[in-house]
Amino acid sequence: MGACCSARRSLPERAGAAHHRRSPVLLCIEVGDVDALYAGALAAGAAGEMPVEEMFRGERYAVVRDPFGRRWAISTAREPLTPEDIARRSPPSV
């Protein structure tokens, strides 16, 4: 299991009350069962931003926003992939 944290810059055109309740941080956690955690997060009041999906990079992945405005990326590793495997599987838009 693992964790990461990333931040995006705040855009002036998104200024306003709703924007100020949102964090520019994306907290990432790797868990044993992303589907169960996603369902539990929604039941506890989080908003689903991206439903659980199988990703080309070998994991199941979802994003939720908790009631305090923090975004959480949750994932479960499904298979170990090399950078070459990921490049081969990547969609053209990536």
pLDDT higher than threshold 80 for residue 17: no
Domains and CATH numbers, the chain: 1-6+22-76 (3.10.180.10)
Question: CB-based burial of residue 38 (10 Å sphere; 0-12 exposed, 13-18 middle, 19+ buried)?
Answer: buried
* pLDDT digits 0-9 by tens, 65-88: 999 999 999 999 888 888 888 888
- Indicate the pLDDT class of residue 5, thresholds 50, 70 and 90: very low
| DSSP-derived secondary structure letter, 92 | T
* pLDDT digits 0-9 by tens, 27-52: 999 999 999 999 999 999 999 999 99
Amino acid 92: pLDDT: 83
Amino acid 21: pLDDT: 60
